[in-house]
Copies of this chain bind each other. A is one copy, B any other.
Amino acid sequence: MNKTMGEISHTPKTPYYAVIFTSIKSENQENYAEMSAKMEEMVQIQPGYLGHESASGSIGITVSYWESIEAIKAWKNQSEHNIAQGLGKSTWYSQYKIRICKVEHDYGT
């Protein structure tokens, strides 16, 4: 089950955590789609995962939501995700930035 594909994530009451991943793709996207699909699947069963939102244009933005900093660290260190991060850095992205945030307040419809 993908909790968030094409929709706004249903997150709990604040505080919770967000990882803002902003990237610019390189010309080499070999095996990217396959790995991306695998990570999409794996993150769903990661403890503390709350959902994610993605969009892409001249840059890509993916925001994932988490119960705690510890849950974010566990996903960062998950072994297959580690391989994906390495390939992202070496191959798929010409530039990227990761921002770890505490969501202090939210509102909306």
Q: Which A residues are within 8 Å of any B CB, using their own CB?
A: 5-9, 11, 18, 20, 22-24, 53-61, 63, 89, 93, 95-109
Q: List 5 extra interface pairs beyond A7-B24, A55-B58, CB under 8 A.
A: A6-B59, A9-B97, A98-B107, A101-B101, A101-B104
A interface: dominant SS: strand
Residues in B with CB closer than 8 Å to A103 are: 20, 99-101
- A55 vs B55: C-alpha distance when bound (angstroms): 5
Shortest C-beta distance, A74 to chain B (Å), equals 16
Q: How far is the CB of A24 from chain B (nearest CB, A)?
A: 7
Which listed residue (B59, B96, B106) contacts A97, Cβ 8 A? B106
